[in-house]
């Protein structure tokens, strides 16, 4: 079973301390540490089981919180005990190594020179003092011995303190496990999920799913861009509310036409844009190198304009919310007759008109998928094709597709939720259907929100933690896959069985979040390997 959040890094540190190549600790100390590690593993199993449960009672939530806080306390104290242990070993090794080559005169240890009334360790420290007539080599060795002897009582006191801490922590863990049994928390109803990282195939935004979202109307729009012979700079805007697939369409356009241009960039804006960050990112993509750290808006816009001058370029500006942001960004695009294109996506009609200089014919308005395309999208994720759907499930699954309202994001979210189940049961389908129906009575947006919440609640705890880690990034921020995977590994969010590579498992977590549309592809290689991603606005707003 995977170690839950809060336990993974603790178990890793305990393992490091007990490893043969780790700190050389006294045998009694190591024995106690082994017992502590076993207790932590027991507590971890209880916590992992409860982390995969839904609708936990307040008592269970409090127990989980206390268990995690106990894990943090233990980890803090393990951090404190690593350095002193290592420091003592280095000093001892140094003395032992030199003692083999240097013979200390016996007369240095004559009892006649010893004053009365000194404690034993101070007696030895006094004896180890070296008279001035002795050579420098003997003097340095004796000084080192003297330092170790003087520090010995503190070192013994430190070991005693750590031994007491270990005993206390073992007692606290046993008390926590006893409370778990006394409260009968094992009876909490669970809705267990399974995750098979090695078996899931990444469904990228450019292949598979995206092709099904493109209906005849969208296909005509793509063809019109492909056949457009106008050599003047043209700005095209994709308009529509959230969850309709504007970003997915922009990605398809970027992937399809990017190779025809000298320079390309794909940047995301968000509601509260950091224009300097956005321009730096755009300059890095078109120029291929990191701009200077302290560049200002005007300097960055000028650098982009200078680099794009006399070049054919394609720039995608995704999720732009204000005309003022466009005014700053557009200053970076030089006019010319090289057939350059800028494509924006927005939910605001006024922003779309501003981007296109009020040429309404340059605005493409997204619409919900019709029922046929919605079904094709839903069943392709769940069963591979509609023909593979069991007859007894067709009626209720068609009802769920209808309740998703032709919106790709909730359709994909619910289909991915169901596809993650080992067995698709009628009870679960009925529950999803009732949940979506009750929220649609309030508003269509509430139905979308409920679909995303249902999908989020169904995530295994380790995927939830990896997703919540993205909350540290600003909305709309471009996140590079390699950096994110390494961050998850460093934070202790990834746990493997023997023989598994941590970064490969972390990459499989990343792919699963892409498949479920909790994170969205921004850039990818020719072979559909994702390079960078972002968190969709609706996910950021409703789940994080």
Same-domain check for residues 254 and 171: no
| CB proximity list for 256: less than 8 A, separation 6 or greater | 222, 226
Domain-embedded: residue 208:
no
Distance (Å, whole) CA 439 – CA 350 = 30
Same-domain check for residues 36 and 176: yes
Crossing angle between the packed helical segments 426-440 and 408-419, to the nearest 10 degrees: 160
The beta strand positions in 272-337, using DSSP E, are 313-320
Q: Which helix (H) or strand (E) holds 328?
A: helix 323-330
Domain-embedded: residue 1:
no
Domain end position, chosen among 150, 166, 187: 187
| CB contact at 8 A, 445 and 408 | no
Same-domain check for residues 257 and 232: yes
Same-domain check for residues 328 and 424: no
Domain-embedded: residue 194:
no
How big is the chain, counted in residues?
544
Same-domain check for residues 392 and 327: no
Same-domain check for residues 296 and 226: yes
Same-domain check for residues 379 and 305: no
Domain-embedded: residue 209:
no
Number of domains in the chain: 3
Same-domain check for residues 486 and 514: yes
Distance (Å, whole) CA 326 – CA 354 = 8
Domain end position, chosen among 365, 383, 411: 365
Distance (Å, whole) CA 148 – CA 155 = 9
Domain-embedded: residue 222:
yes
CATH number of domain containing 350: 3.40.50.300
Q: In the structure, how many helices (H) and strands (E) does the chain have? A: 21, 8
| CB contact at 8 A, 36 and 57 | no
Same-domain check for residues 403 and 532: yes
Q: So what's the pLDDT on residue 484? A: 92
Closest CA to 216 of 361, 382, 415, 372: 372
Domain-embedded: residue 299:
yes
Q: So what's the pLDDT on residue 411? A: 87
Q: Which helix (H) or strand (E) holds 137?
A: helix 136-182
Owning domain of residue 337: 216-365
* Sheet with 530-534, edge to edge strand ranges: 479-480, 530-534, 520-524
Domain end position, chosen among 342, 365, 388: 365
Domain-embedded: residue 469:
yes
Distance (Å, whole) CA 233 – CA 489 = 45
Q: What is the pLDDT along the chain (544 residues), one digit of tens a residue?
A: 445 555 666 777 777 777 765 566 667 777 788 888 888 888 888 887 777 665 677 888 888 888 888 888 888 887 665 544 444 444 445 445 444 444 445 444 444 454 555 444 444 454 455 454 444 555 565 666 666 566 666 666 777 777 888 888 888 898 888 888 888 776 664 434 333 333 344 444 434 445 446 677 888 888 888 777 778 888 899 998 887 888 888 888 888 888 888 888 888 887 778 888 888 888 888 887 776 665 788 888 888 888 888 888 999 998 898 888 888 888 888 887 888 899 999 989 999 999 988 888 888 988 888 888 888 888 888 888 888 888 888 889 999 888 888 888 888 888 888 887 777 878 888 888 888 887 766 666 777 788 888 888 878 888 888 888 888 888 778 888 999 999 998 888 887 776 778 888 899 899 888 888 888 887 776 667 788 888 887 777 766 6
Same-domain check for residues 342 and 376: no
Same-domain check for residues 58 and 182: yes
Region for 485 from its dihedrals, namely left if φ exceeds 0, alpha if ψ lies in -120 to 50, beta otherwise: alpha
Same-domain check for residues 421 and 472: yes
| CB contact at 8 A, 273 and 303 | no
Domain-embedded: residue 169:
yes
Closest CA to 263 of 247, 279, 283, 236: 283
């Amino acid at each position: 079973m995977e170690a839950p959040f809060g336990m993974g890094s603790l178990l890793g540190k305990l393992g490091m301390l007990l490893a043969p190549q780790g700190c050389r600790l006294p045998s009694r100390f190591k024995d106690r540490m082994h017992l502590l590690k076993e207790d932590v593993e027991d507590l971890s199993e209880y916590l992992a089981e409860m982390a995969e449960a839904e609708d936990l009672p307040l008592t269970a939530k409090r127990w989980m919180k206390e268990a995690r806080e106990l894990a943090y306390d233990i980890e803090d104290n393990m951090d404190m005990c690593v350095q002193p242990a290592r420091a003592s070993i280095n000093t001892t090794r140094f003395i032992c190594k030199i003692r083999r080559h240097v013979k200390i005169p016996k007369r240095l240890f004559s009892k006649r020179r010893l004053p009365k009334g000194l404690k034993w360790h101070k007696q030895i420290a006094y004896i180890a003092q070296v008279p001035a007539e002795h050579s420098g080599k003997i003097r340095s060795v004796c000084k080192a011995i003297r330092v170790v002897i003087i520090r010995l009582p503190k070192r013994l006191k430190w070991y005693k303190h750590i031994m007491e801490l270990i005993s206390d922590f073992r007692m606290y863990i046993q008390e926590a496990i006893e409370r778990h049994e006394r409260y009968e928390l094992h009876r909490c109803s669970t809705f267990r999920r399974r995750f098979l990282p090695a078996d899931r195939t990444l469904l990228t935004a450019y292949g598979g799913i995206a092709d099904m979202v493109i209906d005849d109307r969208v296909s005509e729009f793509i063809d019109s861009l492909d056949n457009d012979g106008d050599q003047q700079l043209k700005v095209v805007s994709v308009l529509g509310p959230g969850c309709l697939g504007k970003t997915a369409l922009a990605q398809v356009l970027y992937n399809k036409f990017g190779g025809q241009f000298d320079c390309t960039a794909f940047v995301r804006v968000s509601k509260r844009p950091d224009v300097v960050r956005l321009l730096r990112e755009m300059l890095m993509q078109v120029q291929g190198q990191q701009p200077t750290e302290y560049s200002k808006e005007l300097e960055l816009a000028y650098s982009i304009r200078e680099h794009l001058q006399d070049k054919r370029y394609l720039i995608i500006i995704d999720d732009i919310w204000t005309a003022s942001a466009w005014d700053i960004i557009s200053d970076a695009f030089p006019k010319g007759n090289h057939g350059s294109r800028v494509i924006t996506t927005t939910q605001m009609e006024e922003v779309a008109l501003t981007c296109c200089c009020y040429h309404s014919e340059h605005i493409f308005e997204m619409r919900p998928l019709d029922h046929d395309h919605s079904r094709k999208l839903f069943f392709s994720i769940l069963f591979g094709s509609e023909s593979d759907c069991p007859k007894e499930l067709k009626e209720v699954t068609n009802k769920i597709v209808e309740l998703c309202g032709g919106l790709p994001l909730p359709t994909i979210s619910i289909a991915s939720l169901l596809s993650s189940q080992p067995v698709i049961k009628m009870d679960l389908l009925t529950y999803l259907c009732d949940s979506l129906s009750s929220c649609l009575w309030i508003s269509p947006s509430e139905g979308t929100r409920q679909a995303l919440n249902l999908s989020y609640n169904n995530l295994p705890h380790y995927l939830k933690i990896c997703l919540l880690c993205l909350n540290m990034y600003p909305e709309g921020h471009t996140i590079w896959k390699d950096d994110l995977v390494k961050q998850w590994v460093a934070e202790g969010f990834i746990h493997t069985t023997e023989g598994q590579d941590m970064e490969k498992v972390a990459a499989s977590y990343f792919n699963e979040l892409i498949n479920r549309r909790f994170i969205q592809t921004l850039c990818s290689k020719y072979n559909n390997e994702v390079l960078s991603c972002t968190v969709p606005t609706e996910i950021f707003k409703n789940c994080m």
